[in-house]
Chains A and B, each alone.
Chain A
């Protein structure tokens, strides 16, 4: 069975600084998708960034980028120039590519942004 591990329950970052959130996963599948979702307090969960396992190039979305290490089964999220609005719970998620509807979520990392 696939598992997703987020070993950092909570992280803090100073405004305008850079922070990296860790995610590791375990799977025997060769093709899959990885996601980072953001859930601000009392607000809805939104997609931050997505990575397809067959793509070697790391995904980037503006200030958000990932470091995808397929062999190490690692998928970390880097947030550059952190803003107060980045404060949220961040969930790493895995989905196999074989037509499944099951997304495996990590336990989440709460990010605090300090002014």
Chain B
């Protein structure tokens, strides 16, 4: 079975500062990796995904993530955050190949401070 650990439940950061949200996963098989963002009272929006190929993945809203197989990590980064980035961020994995459901981490609340 797969599992996802998001080590930080809350991350406060000042506006225009860089941020890294950490994600580690555990799996005995190959996985696909995803980051989603959830704004208050809304569903989840896909930020980016890693399926194969280049380990550095660029997503929407200036976010990027790097897959590190040896450390089983998929940390999300942004060089300069905005107030509008304040939201809940979820890391998720699914088994490959196949159509298994996503397994989510517990989420990280990013709060951007003016």
- A is bound by B: no
Which residue numbers of B lie inside 8 Å of A, CB to CB?
A: none
A residues with a Cβ closer than 8 A to B are none
